[in-house]
Chain A
């Protein structure tokens, strides 16, 4: 029997605890359910010192220990499991005490039976039960692991299949990558030859054929085709096969038939290319390349390998490559078209501003090298806006196209015409002199002068041209164009239908002009325009009989600007009417006030200047009438002064207008007489009342010159035609003396008074009135008394 010895029993010494621990360790190392079950069964038996043990489920013994050669008594064991038996008979051993424990995870039992009389203690039963629970958990875990493992195995099997698929996919992937690269190069507008090279390389890599070629039909000679890109064609071969008839080879046939061509016995095929037959080419496959839906080329693969046949997949691959080649070809064409569009005006087909500047830059560079001269013409169609507004844009566009055509035709081959936009054109003439440029400008003006026939309309077009000539390429393209523009602008201002050569001073003029325009515009709204008055006197008495109203521009800073410096600009800007109206109203009001304000002993006449433009205005008479009515001024005391040059244009219209004014009682004076081109005949036709001798004839009148003779003649003319004559610009008594001797009755000038402000004029008039009162109404001229009033 077991020997006893001293032992320190503590909580650690619990047998069943450590048995359980051992059990757990043992079972944990099992790899599968049956191993765990066997281990557990064995362990439980050994721990409890049973001779036999078995795992039973559903009347089956899953595992047993201690029964010889697996002869476990299943019925008895099952009975024990069900609690129906507590002993087992064992041949040779006798009765064994049996115990069973349920294993949840097994849905079965472990049965133990041992010899001897020791019944199962509580501690042993407890141990068994705990083992049972632990085993259940283990079985469940193992089952899960098993499931996972088998899933993993399935997974691994699938992985193997996938590997094979992957290999296939890799091939496909390479193919797609190649296509993608080709696509990208097409998108990035890589030059067409490079795209073709990429396609050829791709076809070789994927199909493996030793020879690949892309051919395109020769545009000049559609019976032949040229190799654009190839692989595996030796230099020698290339020389003889680079250009070939469409009737030859798989590549040619594919174009002609516009379809897939396969030759698998090259030697004996119809239309085989002799060079390749000689080289022992075995097979070839070709697919057409299309441009705008038409077969314009082909891609062909060919092999020297015997027995080379082309599978469906390979055909598809080649078709895909051909498709990409088609895209590339179409795209290249589209790019060309776009490039053309980018540089050309769509309406006229002429180069646009961008292209023109490019050419100009190049011309400047050339000129710098060669020292030659170049000319830039900047053209503007006068009054084109009128055509557009009156006849509509479609007509306007057609006119522009016609102008462009005529312009282009009129130029030398080397010259370049461009449309800059709107109705502006430019011409570049290289290797030309100033004279040549002038001649060119004249020629252009002339050729465009002939009327254009657009639809049913006959349209006359004039053009203003700015011309700049540069030699030695010293000015940049941008500057040249800008200067030509400037010159054109000046030309336009000066009058339509002419050209003007650029001068650097134009810049200043323009700058000044621009400034002036701005100031003028402001001046109108800020009422910077005022009226000054210069008296018209009787030579006899020196007493004023009238005043001339003169517009002045008093700037913000107080300075005065005389009309000569701004009137014409104001008129061009269309500012004249408001200024004119202001002058009319103001002067009528003022003189009316003087007349009734006892500033003068006798009625004064008011002279106001009218410009040619004003005269042409239909509203003129109405405006004057309105002013008369508003101010209450007596029209019989109003004189309108017009210059000779104003009469030159639209003489009929002007005459009619003057007659209208005359009918109101207004008198008409001809200013600066003697300086214009008026013929004496129309003097008689026009309704005139007065002539004013231009000061240029008064200047040297004292020195007995021709001027004096002219003055005398004018006076005589006036007497003959019953016109009053006023001498302008009297500056000294000598002039006055002469004029008086000639019989001139009225005069005007600094000698009497400068133009004065209304306040000063008011003062002047009062003074004169006092003087008149002093000497009586009509007095002999007392020359020595007369003094020029300092204005």
Chain B
């Protein structure tokens, strides 16, 4: 659904003296103009500290950034390509959604870790290095946007964690490329990067709230991951993983032969790796039909237990509610200034056109505060423990 800059004006400006959040979006095809428009719309206040830009890979990203830079030449910018954009007005494609935050109540520093695939941990750590420069306000988060195709995203998280430590929550998502699974982009100031980790360390006088929910449930019995190497699941219960998966789900013929069909199918049938509290959902990116193995975008540890998960509209929307609620709870009654939503492309797959209502729900939860986000290949949210990478999940970051 297309959003226009005009629609953005329907939002209630959310400002305080200290901090403000603004979201602008544009659906026009001209990348430069779209960039200009979205940026203009997002700037709701003075002293912008950060621009978070979610852009469809349909755009000419350089051109678009050019347009944005015209409007806000010196504001630190982070962003990435998407598999669909979320704005207060609703979900969209081939559009750009820019979130701006500013005011003296925020302190921001950004950094990029490059060549992530060469050393994921180091890239994560490099990006997280900006945390030191984010000031020492009471509440801090590290916002991460990664190239989801670079490798084991958990390693990136570990890298970032090793720098910021347990006191700084991590939140963010993996860039998308409209389900092509070929190449995603990360934006850093005026640069369009690939294979990168971008981070913005934000410290604030007011608390942040993070909600993490997925809405998937187990299907059938647990399976032993009898053989896996990194992101590749080779065998389940000592049988070829792909065969086990397809048979368990009674997958239709085209799913068994067409890689695109498989990816679409697998989108809504992820793995759920057994963890201390619940399951860690694992996004299935594709399969190797020759090898009969399944590719995820994060590690499925050998020796562990996994379920096949499924979901439906109800469970997904239920999770949406729960995530928003969770995020709001952390604000301890403060009204949110805005939401950033990192919504797994799989959930979009389940909802289909229902994503409209999902965004509406989020907006409802935000109490009209600006909502921005995108459909991701993976979500990052580390609020406790060390694990912070999620799949098929909705991560909601609430600003206050």
Closest residue on chain A to residue B138 by CB atoms: A92
> How many Å from the CB of A482 to the closest CB on chain B?
98
Given contacts A42-B158, A90-B166, are A49 and B385 in contact (CB under 8 A)? yes
Can you name 5 A-B residue pairings with CB atoms under 8 Å?
A49-B384, A49-B387, A52-B166, A65-B161, A68-B167
Interface segment among B179-187, B300-308, B333-341, B343-351: the answer is B300-308
Given contacts A3-B214, A65-B161, are A90 and B301 in contact (CB under 8 A)? no
Interface segment among A15-23, A453-461, A600-608: the answer is A15-23
Judging by beta carbons under 8 Å apart, are A67 and B165 in contact? Answer: yes
Judging by beta carbons under 8 Å apart, are A13 and B166 in contact? Answer: no
Q: Does B162 contact A (CB under 8 A)?
A: yes
Given contacts A24-B303, A91-B167, are A65 and B217 in contact (CB under 8 A)? no
In the complex, what distance in Å separates the CA atom of A42 from the CA atom of B157? 13
Q: Does A237 contact B (CB under 8 A)?
A: no
In the complex, what distance in Å separates the CA atom of A52 from the CA atom of B166? 7
Closest residue on chain A to residue B228 by CB atoms: A25
Give A contacts to B, CB under 8 Å. 1-8, 10, 12-13, 15, 18-26, 42, 45-53, 65-69, 90-93, 96, 114-116, 124
The 7 closest A-B pairs by CB, nearest first: A2-B278, A21-B303, A92-B167, A5-B217, A68-B165, A49-B385, A51-B166
> How many Å from the CB of B52 to the closest CB on chain A?
24
In the complex, what distance in Å separates the CA atom of A8 from the CA atom of B318? 23
In the complex, what distance in Å separates the CA atom of A4 from the CA atom of B315? 11
Q: Which residues of B contact A93 (CB under 8 A)?
A: 166-167
Partner of A8 from B165, B221, B224, B309 at Cβ < 8 Å: B221
Partner of A18 from B162, B168, B220, B305 at Cβ < 8 Å: B305
Q: Which residues of B contact A21 (CB under 8 A)?
A: 302-304
In the complex, what distance in Å separates the CA atom of A67 from the CA atom of B385? 12
Q: Does B163 contact A (CB under 8 A)?
A: yes
Judging by beta carbons under 8 Å apart, are B167 and A18 in contact? Answer: no
Question: Majority SS of interface residues in chain B?
Answer: mixed
In the complex, what distance in Å separates the CA atom of A480 from the CA atom of B318? 134
Given contacts A50-B386, A65-B161, are A7 and B307 in contact (CB under 8 A)? yes
Q: Which residues of B contact A116 (CB under 8 A)?
A: 384
Closest residue on chain B to residue A70 by CB atoms: B162
Apart from the given pairs A22-B301, A50-B386, 18 other A-B contacts in the complex at a CB distance below 8 Å: A1-B322, A2-B277, A3-B319, A7-B218, A10-B221, A10-B222, A12-B224, A13-B222, A15-B305, A20-B303, A21-B302, A45-B385, A47-B276, A49-B384, A51-B386, A66-B161, A67-B165, A68-B165
Q: Which residues of B contact A45 (CB under 8 A)?
A: 385-386
In the complex, what distance in Å separates the CA atom of A12 from the CA atom of B223? 8
List residues 291-321 of chain B with CB under 8 A from any CB of chain A. Answer: 301-305, 307, 309, 315, 318-319
Q: Which residues of A contact B216 (CB under 8 A)?
A: 3, 5
In the complex, what distance in Å separates the CA atom of A499 from the CA atom of B74? 146
In the complex, what distance in Å separates the CA atom of A67 from the CA atom of B387? 15
Per-residue CB proximity of B200-217 to A under 8 Å, as 1/0? 000000000000011111
Given contacts A3-B215, A7-B222, are A114 and B384 in contact (CB under 8 A)? yes
In the complex, what distance in Å separates the CA atom of A53 from the CA atom of B219? 34
Q: Which residues of B contact A92 (CB under 8 A)?
A: 140, 166-168
In the complex, what distance in Å separates the CA atom of A24 from the CA atom of B315? 35
In the complex, what distance in Å separates the CA atom of A15 from the CA atom of B167? 27
> How many Å from the CB of A189 to the closest CB on chain B?
73
> How many Å from the CB of A123 to the closest CB on chain B?
10
> How many Å from the CB of A20 to the closest CB on chain B?
8
Q: Which residues of B contact A68 (CB under 8 A)?
A: 163-165, 167-168
Q: Does B360 contact A (CB under 8 A)?
A: no
> How many Å from the CB of A111 to the closest CB on chain B?
14
Q: Which residues of B contact A1 (CB under 8 A)?
A: 322
Q: Which residues of A contact B302 (CB under 8 A)?
A: 21-22, 25
* Interface residues on chain B, size class: 35 or more
Partner of B385 from A15, A46, A90 at Cβ < 8 Å: A46
Judging by beta carbons under 8 Å apart, are A8 and B222 in contact? Answer: yes
Given contacts A18-B274, A68-B165, are A12 and B386 in contact (CB under 8 A)? no
In the complex, what distance in Å separates the CA atom of A51 from the CA atom of B140? 16
In the complex, what distance in Å separates the CA atom of A465 from the CA atom of B224? 117
Closest residue on chain A to residue B276 by CB atoms: A49
In the complex, what distance in Å separates the CA atom of A604 from the CA atom of B217? 163
Q: Does B279 contact A (CB under 8 A)?
A: yes
> How many Å from the CB of B81 to the closest CB on chain A?
30
Judging by beta carbons under 8 Å apart, are A15 and B221 in contact? Answer: no
> How many Å from the CB of B327 to the closest CB on chain A?
13
Closest residue on chain A to residue B227 by CB atoms: A25
Per-residue CB proximity of B342-374 to A under 8 Å, as 1/0? 000000000000000000000000000000000
Judging by beta carbons under 8 Å apart, are B165 and A15 in contact? Answer: no
Closest residue on chain A to residue B221 by CB atoms: A8
Q: Which residues of B contact A46 (CB under 8 A)?
A: 385-387
In the complex, what distance in Å separates the CA atom of A504 from the CA atom of B274? 122
Partner of B279 from A2, A22, A65, A69 at Cβ < 8 Å: A2
In the complex, what distance in Å separates the CA atom of A21 from the CA atom of B217? 24
Q: Which residues of A contact B217 (CB under 8 A)?
A: 3-6
Closest residue on chain A to residue B318 by CB atoms: A3
Judging by beta carbons under 8 Å apart, are B221 and A42 in contact? Answer: no
> How many Å from the CB of A531 to the closest CB on chain B?
123
> How many Å from the CB of A544 to the closest CB on chain B?
139
Q: Which residues of B contact A67 (CB under 8 A)?
A: 165-166
Q: Which residues of B contact A7 (CB under 8 A)?
A: 218, 222, 307
> How many Å from the CB of A519 to the closest CB on chain B?
107
Closest residue on chain A to residue B165 by CB atoms: A68
In the complex, what distance in Å separates the CA atom of A47 from the CA atom of B305? 13
> How many Å from the CB of A700 to the closest CB on chain B?
140
Q: Which residues of B contact A2 (CB under 8 A)?
A: 277-279
Given contacts A18-B224, A22-B304, A45-B386, are A3 and B166 in contact (CB under 8 A)? no
List residues 136-181 of chain B with CB under 8 A from any CB of chain A. Answer: 140, 158, 161-168
Residue among B167, B220, B221 with most chain A CB within 10 A: B167
> How many Å from the CB of A621 to the closest CB on chain B?
129
Judging by beta carbons under 8 Å apart, are B385 and A114 in contact? Answer: yes
In the complex, what distance in Å separates the CA atom of A46 from the CA atom of B164? 16
Q: Which residues of A contact B167 (CB under 8 A)?
A: 68, 90-93
Closest residue on chain A to residue B307 by CB atoms: A7
Given contacts A3-B213, A5-B217, A65-B386, are A48 and B276 in contact (CB under 8 A)? yes
Q: Which residues of B contact A25 (CB under 8 A)?
A: 301-303
Closest residue on chain A to residue B300 by CB atoms: A22
In the complex, what distance in Å separates the CA atom of A765 from the CA atom of B4? 186
Closest residue on chain A to residue B315 by CB atoms: A3
